[in-house]
Amino acid sequence: MSRSIIVASNRGPITFERGPDGAPAARRGSGGLVTALSGALQEAEGVWVAAAMTEGDREMAIASRGGRIQHDEGDIAFRLRYLDIPPEVYDGYYNGISNGLLWFAYHYLWDTVRSPTFGADVAPVWESYVDVNRRFAQALAEEGDREGGDTAFLIQDYHLALVPRLLRELVPDALICHFSHTSMAGPTYQRMMPAQVHDQILRGMLGADVLGFHSPMWAENFLLAARQLPGVRVDLARSRILVDGRLVAVRIHPISVDARAMREAAATQRVRTLRRGLNRWRNNNRLIVRVDRLELTKNIVRGFQAYELFLRRNPDWIERVRFLALLSPSRVELPEYREYTEACVAEAARINDELGRPGWSPIELRAKDDYEGALAAYGLYDVLFVNPVIDGMNLVAMEGPLLNRRRGVLVLSRNAGAFGRLGRYALGVNPFDLDEMSAAIGEALEMPVDERTRRARGLSRLVLANPPARWVGGQLEDLERALRRRPVS
Amino acid sequence: MSRSIIVASNRGPITFERGPDGAPAARRGSGGLVTALSGALQEAEGVWVAAAMTEGDREMAIASRGGRIQHDEGDIAFRLRYLDIPPEVYDGYYNGISNGLLWFAYHYLWDTVRSPTFGADVAPVWESYVDVNRRFAQALAEEGDREGGDTAFLIQDYHLALVPRLLRELVPDALICHFSHTSMAGPTYQRMMPAQVHDQILRGMLGADVLGFHSPMWAENFLLAARQLPGVRVDLARSRILVDGRLVAVRIHPISVDARAMREAAATQRVRTLRRGLNRWRNNNRLIVRVDRLELTKNIVRGFQAYELFLRRNPDWIERVRFLALLSPSRVELPEYREYTEACVAEAARINDELGRPGWSPIELRAKDDYEGALAAYGLYDVLFVNPVIDGMNLVAMEGPLLNRRRGVLVLSRNAGAFGRLGRYALGVNPFDLDEMSAAIGEALEMPVDERTRRARGLSRLVLANPPARWVGGQLEDLERALRRRPVS
């Protein structure tokens, strides 16, 4: 394909930090999204538009004078455009609306009897959200212009939900895909948002030609929510929407992880050393591992309680199993997240206190950013415990099976997008049901080796069969199809 | 129609209490449901099956030896069958599953990060729920047999969700309608219930020929939830479901209130006296009224906060308006309800403390069972404030306009089932949005008299046009249609 690609996301693939010598040093982000999109951009010589996150990013943005930052890293050349957004505007857009409101709505996180309560504080943060989305749309239109117009725009996630529509207003025939990496709530729940926010977010997304989701559950909830808007016609059977005389296709493209990069990262001397250390620490215990951000959706407290219930029901497992929880801090600006971290720590401490023995604690909680520690733990688990309340996709459920060396069993929430792809080789659980989760832990620990082998192989095969490039490729094909369906003008 | 009718509901239309003389005295329930069904039963000479609620009910049930209780009241003859259920079984069925689990699931009431947490306590209360539903199904089958078989079964609400299926197993060709008086959550939310409960409740309801709901929102959510079950085919466009080779029709029949009975009740000397007292108390203030059970769904705290925001933004209304909240205690067995009551009282006290003046308090909160007080207040309000978080129907929104004498304005949550019927004459609000609710209070208080008159007339016309008999009649017609659609065997 000769079409150029322009990506937009809140966070860019490279972060610049001023080093001790005063020169900005670059750090590359990890994860399937960056890998997938970097690969696609490399081929298409495209551009990545993002918000400047650090002082270093900001300096690079200012130095580029609203132009592009060229950054070569190994054999990959990045062309970046970083937007310098005033901190108070960014705060309203990022903490106020994106993570304070949309994230909660899409993940059913509200305590409806008490929260949310939308007051006079919504209007100013909403204004910031619109402002940042407008800056992105403007930058994308300019970049598209520089590329000569034959461009595919790949817009990422709920931070930029208004961009498709705003960009469409600037470039009416633009070819736009918006991808949601979160879950989506159904229409009744989404209507809890302030009416204006609710309507504008949906109409903003509907500016795209293609809307991508990780799971059929989220795509369906979006279609149903869109059906609430006057003048919008939704065809559920064909998964498409007619709005303003345009067709919007709603499509499912589950993202995956970059197997080669992960295996390389796990083969370093540092990870080997960590793995040996962990293996000594585990001693003769079977090992249950969870790896998560300290995020409200991840269901860490109930996970500990399910494990506690398992130990109380099966006391013969005491001193024979350990639960290692690797938890990285997240969104510490939001008070709900700080409270949740405290609750996780307190619950683990209580259980260790009640069920521990001299020299043996049931739970080891490590709260810090430690990707290499996670890579080491992936190699060693007997059970990988992934029980989010709800989750757009969940990449831990893919990373673990790719690196595990003990035919470990995956216990996986049926509310994770990943369940749609991996469910048949995992033990599925309802994340609210301690009874079911505790039984799944028992089943995983007692599973015969043949069955464990069959499942472990199935999981890594599925992950390997879906490289990140396929995720981008699917969206680009959908865009070409959308273009062919357009009426000839 | 010559078909006989058998009604089943948790609570019967008559409660028997042993009076001071030792003889059981009967008290008749009020509300549209009792009126509608009593009228239908009267015509069809039918039977009402319910759980014994009081010691008096229990004595009557025992005295009838599993047979019928004949009770004449004025010109209405009731034929009742009351089931004597052991108190601990009833508790599991009523507080454990019905109001502790299903009610929360259908009204989006969980604080998902922390609750629900289903543990070993679910199994025994679920067993009680199944037990009580089985007793009802058994009693209905017997009563149907006595009637000679040509019977329509009208089963009420979430307490009895398994009865349609259990009754179908006993009487395969029974003609069954189940009506849900609650809201319904969408599929993603309903899946939070323990898997067994989730599946059995849906399959239980699908034992009916017709499933009735108050609003298209709830019917749609049910259809989508049913689509999750293996082997069930849902036709969304025609609103029907194919299961086990049978067709189940999902239909919308909004219930209404009994206008004649309400007007009679409001014309008594006692209500007149109360009304005069209230009118003196209001003095020259405009009057905002809310009438609610002290129920988590009713959104009382946010209602006070919206009113507070209105007063702070419009201080010229201070000492010119009063908010009268008539709140009747509800489900005091559940700790969440006791906490919520305290939160309501505390919030009103705080606002009175901060905004009150000598001789004027912004809010008057009366927490007691006082139906006559409510009838009096209905006559006098300038604004009726009905802002539930979510509500199957909401009859206050109908009772008020029927009795109001001041062309009062209805502020109504868009999440109440009643909004579907009354919305165009009400001021619709998002119950989570203080900003919008506070603006609606201002708009209602400032509305020109012509506009108020037009809306008030529209509301009472709509209520009068839908007498309760029509609600039953619609369901019976649906059942006849379902019968004609059945394959000839």
* Cα distance between residue B368 and residue B327, in whole Å: 6
Q: How many beta carbons lie within 10 A of that of residue B89, not counting itself? A: 17
Does the beta carbon of B216 lie under 8 angstroms from any beta carbon of chain A?
no
* Cα distance between residue A191 and residue A30, in whole Å: 35
pLDDT tens digits along A54-84: 999 998 888 888 789 998 887 788 899 999 9
User: Is A230 in a helix, a strand, or coil?
Assistant: coil
Exposed e or buried b per residue across A134-156, where buried means at least 16 C-beta atoms within 10 angstroms of its C-beta? bbbbebbbebbeebeeebbbbbb
Which among B222, B336, B433 is the top mutation candidate for probing chain A, defined by the most A β-carbons within 10 Å of its own β-carbon? Answer: B433
CB contact under 8 A, A114 and B301: yes
| Cβ pair B321, B286 in contact under 8 A | yes
Give the bridge partners for B156, in sequence order: B179
What pLDDT sits at residue A280?
96
Could you tell me which chain B residue has the CA closest to the CA of A307? B119
Section B270-285 average pLDDT: 96
**Rounded to 5°, angle at Cα A336 from A333 and A339:** 100
Cβ partners under 8 Å of residue B55, min gap 6: B17, B18
Beta strands in B135-196 (DSSP E): 151-156, 175-179
**Rounded to 5°, angle at Cα B29 from B23 and B34:** 130
Q: Dihedral angle at the C-alpha atoms of A35, A38, A44, A49, nearest 10 degrees?
A: 140
Does the beta carbon of B230 lie under 8 angstroms from any beta carbon of chain A?
no
Average pLDDT of chain B to the nearest whole number? 94
What pLDDT sits at residue A218?
97
Could you tell me which chain A residue has the CA closest to the CA of B115? A432
Strands lying side by side in the sheet with B383-386: B363-367, B321-328, B286-293, B383-386, B409-413, B427-429
Chain B residues with beta carbon closer than 8 angstroms to that of A224: 186, 224
Interface confidence (ipTM) of the complex: 0.94
| Cβ pair A291, A262 in contact under 8 A | no
% of chain B surpassing 90 pLDDT: 83
CB contact under 8 A, A117 and B189: no
- DSSP codes joined into one string, A99-138: IIIIHHHHTT--BTTT---B-TTHHHHHHHHHHHHHHHHH
Chain A residues with beta carbon closer than 8 angstroms to that of B195: 430, 433, 436
CB contact under 8 A, B432 and A116: yes
**Residue from the list A109, A114, A188 with its beta carbon closest to the beta carbon of B112:** A109
Structure tokens at A5: 């690609």
Task: Provide the residue count of chain B.
Answer: 489
| Cα separations in angstroms, B468 against A74, A481, B33, B34, B211 | 76, 54, 7, 9, 18
Chain B residues with beta carbon closer than 8 angstroms to that of A301: 114
* Cα distance between residue A172 and residue A165, in whole Å: 9
User: Shortest Cα distance from A208 to chain B (angstroms)?
Assistant: 25
Could you tell me which chain B residue has the CA closest to the CA of A221? B188
**Rounded to 5°, angle at Cα A24 from A21 and A28:** 125
pLDDT over 70 at B328, yes or no:
yes
What pLDDT sits at residue A271?
97
User: Shortest Cα distance from B234 to chain A (angstroms)?
Assistant: 12
Does the beta carbon of A488 lie under 8 angstroms from any beta carbon of chain B?
no
Does the beta carbon of A432 lie under 8 angstroms from any beta carbon of chain B?
yes
| Cβ pair B204, B165 in contact under 8 A | yes
CB contact under 8 A, B432 and A117: yes
Residue B191 main-chain phi, psi, to 5 deg: -70, -5
CB contact under 8 A, B186 and A191: no
**Rounded to 5°, angle at Cα A220 from A217 and A225:** 125
DSSP letter at A160 equals: G
Give the range among A392-396, B36-40, B146-150, B256-260 with minimum mean pLDDT: B36-40
What pLDDT sits at residue B352?
98
Q: Any idea which residue has 């003048």 for tokens?
A: A231
Cβ partners under 8 Å of residue B209, min gap 6: B175, B176, B177, B246, B247, B248, B249, B478, B479, B482, B483
- Distance of alpha carbon B399 from its chain centroid, rounded? 13
User: Is B151 in a helix, a strand, or coil?
Assistant: strand
Q: Dihedral angle at the C-alpha atoms of B435, B441, B443, B448, nearest 10 degrees?
A: 180
* Cα distance between residue B237 and residue B235, in whole Å: 6
What pLDDT sits at residue B235?
96
pLDDT band for position B121 (cuts 50, 70, 90): very high
Chain B residues with beta carbon closer than 8 angstroms to that of A436: 194-195
Chain A residues with beta carbon closer than 8 angstroms to that of B436: 194-195
Does the beta carbon of A89 lie under 8 angstroms from any beta carbon of chain B?
no
Q: How many beta carbons lie within 10 A of that of residue A225, not counting itself? A: 23
- DSSP codes joined into one string, B208-245: SSEEEESSHHHHHHHHHHHTTSTT-EEETTTTEEEETT
Does the beta carbon of A483 lie under 8 angstroms from any beta carbon of chain B?
no
- pLDDT beneath 50, residues of chain A: 1
DSSP letter at B94 equals: I
**Residue from the list A109, A113, A189 with its beta carbon closest to the beta carbon of B189:** A189
Beta strands in B117-174 (DSSP E): 151-156
- Distance of alpha carbon B6 from its chain centroid, rounded? 20
Could you tell me which chain B residue has the CA closest to the CA of A112? B109
What pLDDT sits at residue B18?
81
Does the beta carbon of B433 lie under 8 angstroms from any beta carbon of chain A?
yes
Does the beta carbon of A414 lie under 8 angstroms from any beta carbon of chain B?
yes
B 323-362 residues with CB < 8 A to A: 336, 340
* Cα distance between residue A481 and residue A488, in whole Å: 14
CB contact under 8 A, B188 and A191: no
Cβ partners under 8 Å of residue B339, min gap 6: none
Could you tell me which chain A residue has the CA closest to the CA of B194? A433
CB contact under 8 A, B301 and A432: no
Does the beta carbon of B224 lie under 8 angstroms from any beta carbon of chain A?
yes
B 110-169 residues with CB < 8 A to A: 110-114, 116-120, 122-123
Task: Provide the residue count of chain A.
Answer: 489
What pLDDT sits at residue B19?
75
A 253-292 residues with CB < 8 A to B: none
Does the beta carbon of A188 lie under 8 angstroms from any beta carbon of chain B?
yes
**Residue from the list B185, B187, B435 with its beta carbon closest to the beta carbon of A122:** B435
Does the beta carbon of B227 lie under 8 angstroms from any beta carbon of chain A?
no
User: Shortest Cα distance from A329 to chain B (angstroms)?
Assistant: 17
Structure tokens at A407: 């035919």
Does the beta carbon of B25 lie under 8 angstroms from any beta carbon of chain A?
no
pLDDT band for position B89 (cuts 50, 70, 90): very high
| Cβ pair B405, B382 in contact under 8 A | no
Nearest to B49 by CA among B78, B7, B18: B7
| Cα separations in angstroms, B41 against A332, A440, B13, B14, B153 | 61, 50, 11, 14, 11
Structure tokens at B63: 């005295």
What pLDDT sits at residue A31?
62
Chain A residues with beta carbon closer than 8 angstroms to that of B217: 188
Which among B106, B107, B108, B113 is the top mutation candidate for probing chain A, defined by the most A β-carbons within 10 Å of its own β-carbon? Answer: B113
**Residue from the list A108, A111, A434 with its beta carbon closest to the beta carbon of B117:** A434
A vs B, Cβ pairs < 8 A, gives 138
- The sign one gets for the Cα dihedral B437, B442, B447, B452 is positive
CB contact under 8 A, A118 and B432: yes
CB contact under 8 A, B117 and A415: no
Chain B residues with beta carbon closer than 8 angstroms to that of A194: 430, 432-433, 435-436
Could you tell me which chain B residue has the CA closest to the CA of A225? B186
Nearest to B308 by CA among B330, B325, B291: B325
